[in-house]
A and B are shown apart, each in its own frame.
Chain A
């Protein structure tokens, strides 16, 4: 025992010496490296499986679609240099650039893009994003191909008539087609490596890709390192040699790492410290409206939430201004409609309580509750189901406290994401602290989402809503399309299936050394356009 103990002591002393003599030795290098905060470890970087927006950043760096986002999230030429659409809006033809290459030097051809879409739709791939080509972009034959094994890839409305042309056939016109095709949504597939190693083609030792960067390392819970792809067609304009996405599970730690200069840009900024950070960091703090709307949803299959008076009373009791500007202080805008109001061409309908003075709102809320049979002797009991996300939880808590003031016994049940989802699908919830991120600017993603055919969890079916949506989907003219969408949104708001709360923001701290960063509504930031100075 004595010797054991002594040996242990010796080891500790030795390590203490090592710890004490450790010095800050970082070799100076001329390499330009961008250090980006990433949040939680990526779920997958497989371009045909991923549907996460953050993973999309890395994918935007590794894969280039037919069209691509620039630093301002505006869609322009990507692998395709030009394209045209038929008069009925149903056929899109993309023409690839000359001399495109994969990162290993193989020629990149039109069929590679077709194969990418086919792989994503193949039932054997089991891609959670397969719905994309029939629910969002309605590609002919896509749904049938995905739903049963052994379908013919040729039955899907995407083809490559020659090495440089991709033709996509749609079932309904889609004026926002380019937004949907842009970014990380339609990456090509390097067929030889896929045939050789299957899904493992995404591993750093196997990967062959076509974007400005190649993956060098992917260490779970730690970082993803990308290096410049010399075979990229625009490699001359790619400035940074290396981009490192650091996993930053904890937003407080991420903030400190930014302060210490370990990160050039953060994935997130803790929403409860914005005022203080604005004072300290001024221009470096970027708060930008995001295409996400947050709202509460009622379970209309569960009494008493099947009673519109109850739903209305609860909606009336919420003071959007206090909730967003005094409690959350996350820079979110109070929202009076269901969809995020970010397209000035859209005539957005509003819920009526938005224009009422406070006293009137509260009085009406109390009166409605009483009419529905609730009062001091029989208080309404409500549970709000929320995720454990800090901002979401605080918002739910704020709402519960406001409801308490009209005599409602409100509780918050915060669960981790998966359990929250299960609660939703099992129908055991009463009020859901809900949200939706759009695929593109404008109201369409949101209003489409509430179609019962697309989403069964709300159990809401309304023929007028369906009719308006059906009419909208036939319009290729954006003004006409918006007219019908607004009609549908008004029906939704009048029903009080949901209570709009806010439009969220994306929040980043951007070091003055990082150049080329542009704030944008879609929160898309390709590293290709960034560089380090100073």
Chain B
């Protein structure tokens, strides 16, 4: 196997020219992937619906209509998708809940991936004592049980959106860091990196221009899953009573409420659950599309 590996050196020109036209090429490849583009369109629509929908919708998600409690789905009535157990319009709640879930999901995952990749690539590429120190720190953070951290953050920061955000990012950057380090470790001995070093690039430039971009395909697959994971984690926190506080809602908290009514009023689960599942499916296909498009070997 090792003699085969020896043949993997890539032409230096290709790597060095990365970041100029390849991006456009990747984008072109991505736009040829119908599934990915379709997912992108649906996800954009869902996002727009969640952001703009409540502006045009007559009901406030936090206003109760005590005369219409637990109204069923009736598309031609005042509340087309019915109301919840307090008489709040379900559609309005699902849309504003989506704002919270999507915001936490995207911002949380981006923050986690950014921190993780830079951290991991640095550790893996530079290696030695710094790697040792950085990864021992990760080990320590990994060693702290997640829910213990969440309960502590809840107690110390309080149950605000900020607290929720911190609870989610605090450990999620660790896995991207480990993955990025793994990629960096296997990349650092590749010939093109040696060549770049010989060519006089500084360590930081190499990390930025070679290690990070070459770790990217694995990271993109992982980070698109991370958006899902953040959204899912948020729902677990809701299930354990550690999530967003009422009367605000998120898809997670709505699904938790719906899961309790699984045998009595399925509608409460299906509406937020449907939005969540659709979003997660879209994210998955987009991730696959991105991965295929940004694969350096196809250039």
A residues bordering B, Cβ < 8 Å? Answer: 252, 270, 272-273, 276, 319, 322, 326-327, 388, 390, 393-394, 396-398, 400-402, 404-405, 411-416, 419
Q: Which of B57-90 contact A (CB under 8 A)?
A: 62-64, 66, 69, 85-86, 88
CB-based nearest B residue for A386: B246
A393 touches B246 (CB 8 A): yes
A464 to chain B, nearest CB (A): 38
Bound: A276/B66 CA distance, A: 21
Among residues of B, the one whose C-beta sits closest to the C-beta of A394 is B85
Q: Among A270, A319, A412, point to the contact of B246 (Cβ < 8 A).
A: A412
12 residue pairs of the A-B complex, CB under 8 angstroms, read: A252-B260, A270-B260, A272-B260, A273-B261, A327-B66, A327-B86, A390-B260, A400-B246, A401-B86, A412-B246, A413-B245, A415-B159
Bound CA–CA A411/B246 (angstroms): 7
In the complex, the answer to whether B245 meets A404 with C-beta atoms within 8 Å is no
Are B263 and A405 within 8 A (Cβ)?
Answer: no
Contact of B264 among A273, A388, A400 (CB under 8 A): A273
Tell me which residues across on chain A come within 8 A of B241, comparing CB atoms.
388, 393, 414, 416
| B residues adjacent to A (C-beta < 8 A) | 62-64, 66, 69, 85-86, 88, 151, 154-155, 159, 241, 245-247, 259-264
CB-CB nearest in chain B for A419: B155
Q: Which residues of A contact B247 (CB under 8 A)?
A: 397, 400-401, 411-412
Assess whether A405 is in contact with B64, with CB atoms less than 8 Å apart: yes
Give A313 to B57 CA distance when docked, in angstroms: 31
Q: Given that A322-B66, A405-B64 are known contacts, is A276 also in contact with B263, CB under 8 Å in the complex? A: yes
What is the number of contacts between chain A and chain B, taking CB atoms within 8 Å? 64
Nearest chain B residue, comparing its CB with the CB of A409: B62
Q: How far is the CB of B246 from chain A (nearest CB, A)?
A: 5
Q: Which 6 A-B pairs have CB atoms at the shortest separation, nearest pair first?
A: A388-B241, A401-B64, A276-B264, A412-B246, A397-B246, A322-B66
Contacts of B64 in A (CB 8 A): 398, 401-402, 404-405
Q: Which of B63, B154, B246 has the most CB of A within 10 A?
A: B246
- What residue of chain B has the Cβ atom nearest to residue A274's Cβ? B264
Given contacts A326-B66, A404-B63, contact A413 B159 (CB under 8 A): yes
What B residues does A413 contact at CB under 8 A? 159, 245
B263 / chain A contacts, CB cutoff of 8 Å: 273, 276
A390 to B245, CA, bound (A): 13
Q: Which listed residue, B69, B159, B264, touches A327 by the CB 8 Å rule?
A: B69
Contact of A272 among B62, B66, B85 (CB under 8 A): B85
C-alpha gap A192/B159 in the complex (Å): 51
B69: chain A residues at CB < 8 Å are 326-327
CA distance A394 to B85 in the complex (A): 9
CB closest chain-B residue, reference A393:
B246
Determine the residue in chain B with the shortest Cβ distance to A280. Answer: B263
Cα distance, A273 to B245, chains bound together (Å): 23
Q: How far is the CB of A259 from chain B (nearest CB, A)?
A: 9
Known A-B contacts A273-B264, A276-B263; the reply to A412 vs B86 at CB < 8 A is no
In the bound complex, what is the Cα–Cα distance between A326 and B63 (angstroms)? 16
* Separation of A249 and B246 alpha carbons in the complex (Å): 23
B147 to chain A, nearest CB (A): 11
Minimal beta-carbon separation of A224 from chain B (angstroms): 25
Chain A residues, Cβ within 8 Å of B88: 401
Contact of A414 among B62, B63, B245 (CB under 8 A): B245
Q: Which residues of A contact B155 (CB under 8 A)?
A: 419
A388–B151 alpha-carbon span in the complex (Å)? 13
In the complex, what residues of B have CB within 8 A of residue A326's CB?
66, 69
Q: Is the CB of B62 within 8 A of A401?
A: yes
Residues of B within 8 A of A416 (CB): 151, 241
Is A404 within 8 A of B62, CB to CB? yes
- A-chain residues with CB within 8 Å of residue B260 when the two chains form the complex: 252, 270, 272, 390
Task: Give the chain B neighbours of A415 by CB distance below 8 A.
Answer: 154, 159
Least CB separation from A322: chain B residue: B66
How many angstroms between the C-alpha atoms of A401 and B60 in the bound complex? 12
* A245 CA / B95 CA spacing, docked (Å): 43
Asked whether A397 lies within 8 Å of B86 as measured between CB atoms, the reply is yes
- Report chain A residues within 8 Å CB of B151: 416
Please give, as numbers and ranges, the residues of chain A lying within 8 Å of B62 by CB-CB distance.
Answer: 401, 404
Q: What residues of A have a CB within 8 angstroms of the CB of B245 in the complex?
A: 411-414
